Structure 1
């Protein structure tokens, strides 16, 4: 019976010794993979939208192609319901949509993309 107790004590002491290392690894993993490169500023995105986007997309609509608006249902239908998809189309353009990579920097594109998603969730109200 005393041998069994010694094994348990040895195992638990190894666990206690490795606990700080496990915590450090966990901390590194969570900060490395969950923290964005930089956070979006939707207030800035609203200003950018009003200057560069509202001419064609007033209140989330689309004066060129009515069905391809910025409403939640249309974004989902066309696979544009993620920050990655919206930043890609704002950056590179597509069909009648102009590319903005030469007019806006990455942070501005992220901000306006986040604003579009936020407004779509609110039904542009």
Structure 2
């Protein structure tokens, strides 16, 4: 009974989350599932210079949501394409999350 009440409360609270916060939660979850394996805390375990820190994003002309979304969608070199695994909205959400975290220096 307690579990059912808790689930109802959680579902009711989800209806009151602002759209911006909902996008952030979604981007966070997508990043955790699909990206963090190689990009934990904005790093890159495959190619150090291709990390997700703002300095590297600017250097590689990846410092916009559009640029990040493009590479998530189509991939490049060692970066896999996610167009067949994520929806366009999910790609936009994770791109926004990456840029936001880069602006915060992944803190």
Task: State the TM bucket, normalised to the shorter chain.
Answer: 0.7 to 0.9
| Structure 2 portions without partners, runs of 5+ | 1-19
Q: Does 1:64 align with 2:46?
A: yes
Q: Which residue of 1 aligns with 2:60?
A: 78
TM-score, structure 1 as length reference: 0.68
Quote the residue 1:91 is aligned against: 73
Counterpart position of 1:49:
31
Q: How big is each residue's C-alpha offset from its partner over 1:29-83, in whole Å with a ceiling of 9 and x where there is no partner?
A: xxxxxxxxxx781211000000000000000000000011000000000000001
Offset of residue 110 of structure 1: 0.3
What CA RMSD, in Å, does the superposition of the two structures yield over aligned residues? 1.5
Specify the structure having the higher radius of gyration (Cα): 1
**SS of residue in 1 equivalent to 2:48:** coil
Q: Which consecutive aligned stretches of 4+ in structure 1 deviate over 4 angstroms post-superposition?
A: none
